[in-house]
A and B are shown apart, each in its own frame.
Chain A
Amino acid sequence: MSSIGTGYDLSASTYSPDGRVFQIEYASKAVENSGTAIGIRCKDGVVFAVEKLITSKLHEPKSNRRIFTIDKHIGMAAAGLIADSRKIVTRSRDEAANFRFTLAQPIPVKHLVDRVSGFVHAHTLYSAVRPFGFNVMYGSYGSEGPRLYMIDPSGIALGYFGCAVGKAKQAAKTEIEKLKTQELTCKDAIREVAKIIYTVHDEVKDKEFELELSWVGEVTGGLHQFVPDDVFEDAVQYAKEAIKESDSEDEL
């Protein structure tokens, strides 16, 4: 559905003759060039995995995070323009804190997503601002159980069982669809998402990457956390072995 919109694509306040707002579509392109991020809603929680592409040999591990915690019980993974996503992190945290302030209650993730998507959408209405260049995923394990949502640059928010964005989103989606997400526990799913990231990572085009893994669920008592080191090591090993197997299968 790619087409250039010459003349109708200079501002978000202009429609094209076929009813499209090109600026919003261009914003999605920014996401397509970013490192892959996936989220899975499993039986007892939500897991996130992000392929953080490293361009510098001087990069400090665990810096420039792409996974964030919004209040204690909600996690967020971002793909696209990371500077834009930092703004939405602050906004989300403000919304969650404000909700606690007025209602003495943690914000239900559905309501948070509702509020944030309205904010994202507002940036698609005027020529004075540009649409945000990110897809963000929210995961939470609250009184309603595990929930996973994604907001795109147009401000649309949908709930998912499995979600992939970024460079290799098609390949990642295919891998996720092979899984029976509703039967996995967080402990199983964390290994699977690590494996998917390693599988879809393009060795040729993108050299180095750092994996970020986080989860929120029964296993963490409802708190969003980066996975502990031993779980991380185990997941990475599982991922690497899975690649080796499939590589050797290819050779045969």
Chain B
Amino acid sequence: MEDYRAPMEHQWSPYSWNGGTILAVAGEDFAVIASDTRLSEGFQIYTRDSPKTYKMSDTAVLGCSGFHGDVLTLIKVIEAQQKIYRHTHQKDLSCESLAQLLATILYSRRFFPYYTYNILAGLDKKGKGCVYSFDPVGSYDREMYRAGGSAAAMLQPLLDNQVALKNQAGVEKEPLTIDKAVSLVTDVFTSAAERDIYTGDGVKISIITASGIDVKEVPLRRD
């Protein structure tokens, strides 16, 4: 029998997409960063317990999602450079410097990028909450809040409305407290898990303050 199918060109790809959503919010003197814990490829789930946040120091946590192979390598490279800095300067990298360093590392692979979506959250040199978000080749900006990864497009508009109070008439802007930030983060992740197949299983929330890093784990839909 003849084959009437259209010709398909196959090509091996060095990348794959392992899902995962990350989110960070900066307050006056704290920062909150969260990620879901599902690791998947296509319709398969590799594991329900793979958080995408990595502690860099007592004042900085990096959220890193996209292609898990590049995530692991990138974390290795950053941690190696941190080690050198600590040995040379007898102190930790500040959030601002860590952001610049990450941007340099990402751009060094401009022509074979790290397929990662990064968000760095923590306290700046003056003790104020900060969030830095990056694209895969190192373009970065400091912001008050940012969603990244799989369900970013679903979460970002919600944060615009709830954190920055955009498109809301006559609402009083109150300073964001840690409890409000955490409950907001929990709510948005629950919503994302409803509609995004890559997001679910659980969410790990890191709360960074001058007294250290507090961690909360909240379960999510497992379907």
Give the complex CA separation of A104 and B88 in angstroms: 17
Give the complex CA separation of A102 and B103 in angstroms: 8
Residues of A within 8 A of B (CB-CB), count:
8
Across the interface, name the chain A residue whose C-beta is closest to B99: A104
* Distance to closest chain A CB from B97 (angstroms): 4
Which positions 80-131 of chain A face chain B at CB distance < 8 Å?
Answer: 101-105, 108, 111, 114
In the complex, chain A residues whose CB is within 8 Å of the CB of B101 = 102-103
Q: Is the pair B89, A111 in contact by a Cβ cutoff of 8 Å? A: yes
* Distance to closest chain A CB from B142 (angstroms): 11
B96 at the interface (CB under 8 A from A): yes
B73 at the interface (CB under 8 A from A): no
Q: Is the pair A103, B88 in contact by a Cβ cutoff of 8 Å? A: no
Residues of B within 8 A of A (CB-CB), count:
11
B104 at the interface (CB under 8 A from A): yes
* Distance to closest chain B CB from A236 (angstroms): 40
Q: Is the pair A102, B88 in contact by a Cβ cutoff of 8 Å? A: no
Partner of B100, one of A104, A111, A114: A104
* Distance to closest chain A CB from B140 (angstroms): 10
In the complex, chain B residues whose CB is within 8 Å of the CB of A103 = 85, 93, 97, 100-101
B94 at the interface (CB under 8 A from A): yes
Q: Is the pair A102, B89 in contact by a Cβ cutoff of 8 Å? A: no
Q: Is the pair A101, B104 in contact by a Cβ cutoff of 8 Å? A: yes
Q: Is the pair A108, B100 in contact by a Cβ cutoff of 8 Å? A: no
Q: Is the pair A111, B93 in contact by a Cβ cutoff of 8 Å? A: no
Residues 52-81 of chain B: 1 if any A CB is under 8 Å from the residue's CB, otherwise 0?
Answer: 000000000000000000000000000000
Could you name 22 residue pairs across A and B whose Cβ atoms are closer than 8 Å? A101-B100, A101-B104, A102-B100, A102-B101, A102-B104, A103-B85, A103-B93, A103-B97, A103-B100, A103-B101, A104-B96, A104-B97, A104-B99, A104-B100, A105-B94, A105-B96, A105-B97, A105-B100, A108-B89, A111-B88, A111-B89, A114-B88
B-binding residues in A (CB < 8 A): 101-105, 108, 111, 114
Apart from A102-B100, A104-B100, A105-B94: 10 A-B pairs, beta carbons within 8 A: A101-B100, A101-B104, A102-B101, A103-B85, A103-B93, A103-B100, A103-B101, A104-B96, A104-B99, A111-B89
